[in-house]
Amino acid sequence: MEQHRIDFARVNRAALARFDDILRRWLPGGRIEGREYVVRNPKRQDQRPGSFKINLTTGRWADWASGDKGGDPISLAAFLFDLGQAEAARRLADMLGIATYG
């Protein structure tokens, strides 16, 4: 069977096109402040939204309290669901109904 390389850029572009909906599904209860989605970090005892922010345009995200950060929707999925980058890309592509390769 032929192995296909994962087109991470393609998956990230598709995710960014629907990022607001994805974030509300993965991280309910957040709020939009400017171009950022602000929500509690579910990976730690976060008492209130404020330090965990996700840029809706670029996909960059960071928790300024813990130092966790990443640059795109795939890295956010990997962080939230304890996955490697490739598996996070595959699952995100499945959720979006797209192929993981060009």
> Do the Cβ atoms of 38 and 29 come closer than 8 Å?
no
CATH of 8-96, one of 3.10.150.10, 3.60.60.10, 1.20.1250.20, 3.90.580.10: 3.90.580.10
Q: Where are the domains of the chain?
A: 8-96
pLDDT tens per residue, range 41-60: 888 887 777 889 999 999 99
| Confidence (pTM) | 0.90
Q: Which of 45, 47, 43, 81 is nearest to 62 (CA)?
A: 43
Residues of the chain with pLDDT under 70: 1-3, 102
